[in-house]
Structure 1
């Protein structure tokens, strides 16, 4: 039987990708491991199921397993395939597929796991992923219904909560705080809502029905987007790192050039492109250092990297099973258990200088060094140079045959700040939150000291960086005092201090260090029984 509804609210807008976006579909391209979702017309799109899952997940972070959420979105399936309640019902929220506006040129990103034993690419952990570029625009269309008198109808207080949740959700979308699709903590999926419109259709009055029949839908003010109290209650810590390269810095692109062999990775920004340091690359470097710290203070976790097992894929997954690291950076899925998303998200970092697609194409297709130099000058890439490298024959001491290659190395390029977002909701309990923040601060300390190079060729003089400043911003309700004390703290690093330990002046700015240090020590002590048992 059809359900009776009092009103319908239609939300429309445009989602603009603030970072590249990937929502996977059926793999119909043998040359790409992870392809994009394509609709029946052959166009790229974001399925409504993906959008609905992200929107519902945002609300559940605030309200948990609230009956209001279950009533609004429909009961989830239970362990045996049935609903968690005696009777299920369709969702009151209809999220339509989001089509991509205009023509977009997809990009390809490489992904690789690093073997903790050898420090090189892990066997069978290599893949590529198709992405929609930054600046892609998607059509958002959501319909929210309010059910009339029935056992499923929400009372006025519950409906008021629903309105607050939607107001907070839409505001979060406007502020770019929500991510869609895959690899959300590795630089992908950040979207921002623009041109939002909310229309209402009233069914419980003659005037409302007549207006609907005339094709009229009035603007609705049911969602107060300015009073985003619930959005501000989401606990988190944002870290902004202002930095500059000290040596050539790049991530190697999959495609090779003609006059030059290895090209730096670029990514689209609207109709322009710029050098990019993917969030996955930054996160991998920070995770490696975090693992090094944990394995140093807790030798019990060294067993996975001490020897190289025969089953390489299984061995790699075992190598990265380190407590606290998995909470911060995520855990890969296996046949025995599901994976989990980490609490730390890192966005892609772009160079400030943008060039046209045509200018970069001329750099890629230059056949001679003179053509390459002219293409670089036309693109105003004055700080980018061609460098030649060669392997030395161990017998003759001369250049090894067929081992001469060249790279296009960005020198002195200005980059945007690196942005880290720690979702404290994913760290259960105050103790784990303080321990996670303590480990993050240790990693940032090593970043300041120049121990964490970024990008390609870090063992060959590339990727060294200098930190100018690190700023913290804490948000949300019921934060531990030690984390709240980090709010609005900025650590400015002088050039002569970048290679030394944090000074007493820096440490004094973080009044919560003692509490975080105690939490870190408590976590280390909690691992001692495991060490003894092993």
Structure 2
């Protein structure tokens, strides 16, 4: 009999901005975040359940059906695990629609930050219909939710694994988890393990308070332990900008035409949600895009695919650039709709079937890069430019423009970028090409950000793999 009840109230903090989509659009954004009945961001219980089920039961059907049930024809079993939606914590309690909360916070959450994205092709230009944007929830926002499982005493180990999964570096929520969004940190866990056959536990269960409101986070049992699972490869880049960098906002201000992107960050002071000043942002999607293109280049170099052979033949060029490149597909994923059988002949001639002809299904990527915020960085250095008429030697009319770049106040201060890869059976050449791309960043050969042709975004530094030094730049 299922006489045991495992209950946990869990507080999560967004280590990176969060994007759980509602499927709706507006006049100002292509994709809006999910909101509760009072207009504040939330995480649906179905999203939490789906991610937990996937991460815990991946490759193990027994684990997948243990808490989440199963169905086979007219036979089956219902789920034993109940997961509530996660609600935003404002002034020490979840949003309840009170006038005080709306006056104090609603303006900030009614106009959330919007992220601009663009798909870049192998020529370095934007793809047709590749511009889109979406809302994000501020970094630092806290959410609380509850889980309850019905089971036996033997289910304790599986319950502990569910809790541990929440603390894994691979645990991400929402859309864009491969573009820097959705990293959550467990701030506190309050657990109850009750045996309903014991009178005291039975009474405790009957009187259990289901409210998600929490008075003090320190009352919760904080779990800062490292996750037990090691099914990922971690890379860390400690970078020093040669001059400055510019990850553009897409607009300027009253001084310049282009400026670095900034976003507000949420903190909690005395349990009350407060906003910090805007901070310089390095979007994970921008870093991933640069690495993705350079990985494609190095994989082609390693496979001896030279431009003079492929560039003149469109069918062959498509096979080695973009998502049809095996390294890009395996590491970064791709949308569906491509069929390798259409290129059967050129596969045989130029690929020796190493890339496996045939249809490739859509799949998500295995590379996770977080958004990075730098409160110390400043955006006060201005560069002015002018286009010179080659005949007169004078400035062209309307061709004076300028930009601000981000700089660090301390020349010895580093920018840290952490990358996690799900540990799958990748080809040696694929991992080698990926590490070659990271090597290029640390040696100043792969600039990051915008306006790199003007000298911005050059970094040098040190590369670590699983905490072991892989490369260090020497000037």
Q: Which residue of 1 aligns with 2:27?
A: 30
Q: Which residue of 2 aligns with 1:377?
A: none
Q: Which residue of 2 aligns with 1:417?
A: 416
Structure 2 length normalisation: TM-score?
Answer: 0.78
Pair 1:320 & 2:340 matched = no
Pair 1:97 & 2:96 matched = no
In structure 2, distance between residues paired with 1:130 and 1:304: 43
In structure 2, distance between residues paired with 1:113 and 1:317: 17
Which structure shows the bigger proportion of residues in helix conformation? 1
Q: Which residue of 2 aligns with 1:122?
A: 127
Q: Give the deviation of 1:119 after TM superposition.
A: 1.4
**Aligned-residue RMSD, C-alpha:** 3.2
Q: Which residue of 1 aligns with 2:258?
A: 262
In structure 1, distance between residues paired with 2:380 and 2:222: 49
Selected match of 1:452 from 446, 458, 461 = 446
Q: CA, structure 1 residues 10+318, in 2 after alignment: closer, same or farther (shift >3 Å)?
A: same
In structure 2, distance between residues paired with 1:226 and 1:408: 40
Q: CA, structure 1 residues 160+45, in 2 after alignment: closer, same or farther (shift >3 Å)?
A: closer
Note the alpha carbon deviations across 1:168-189, whole angstroms, 9 max, x for none: 224x25xx55211112122111
Pair 1:340 & 2:363 matched = yes
Q: Which residue of 1 aligns with 2:64?
A: 69
What SS does the corresponding residue of 2:294 show, helix, strand or coil? helix
Q: Which residue of 2 aligns with 1:518?
A: none
TM alignment of 1:72-471, pairs within 5 A: 72-75=67-70, 83-84=71-72, 86-102=74-90, 103=105, 104-105=108-109, 106-116=112-122, 118-146=123-151, 157=154, 159-170=155-166, 172=167, 177-215=170-208, 231-270=227-266, 271-272=275-276, 273-298=278-303, 306=311, 319-334=322-337, 338-353=361-376, 381=378, 384-394=380-390, 396-412=392-408, 414-424=413-423, 427=424, 429=425, 432=426, 434-467=428-461, 469-471=462-464
Note the alpha carbon deviations across 1:18-58, whole angstroms, 9 max, x for none: 01111111314122112111233332211111111111122
Structure 1 length normalisation: TM-score?
Answer: 0.70
In structure 1, distance between residues paired with 2:420 and 2:127: 28
In structure 2, distance between residues paired with 1:412 and 1:23: 32
Q: Give the deviation of 1:395 after TM superposition.
A: 5.1
What SS does the corresponding residue of 1:402 show, helix, strand or coil? strand
Q: CA, structure 1 residues 46+26, in 2 after alignment: closer, same or farther (shift >3 Å)?
A: same
Higher mean C-alpha displacement, 27-36 vs 276-285: 27-36
In structure 2, distance between residues paired with 1:342 and 1:109: 20
- Unpaired runs of 5+ residues, structure 2, are 91-104, 211-220, 267-274, 340-359
In structure 2, distance between residues paired with 1:164 and 1:406: 55
Note the alpha carbon deviations across 1:428-487, whole angstroms, 9 max, x for none: x3xx264443222222232233210000101121111111x22221xxxxxxxxxxxxxx
Q: Give the deviation of 1:127 after TM superposition.
A: 0.7
In structure 1, distance between residues paired with 2:222 and 2:188: 16
Q: Which residue of 2 aligns with 1:490?
A: 469
TM alignment of 1:39-50, pairs within 5 A: 39-50=36-47
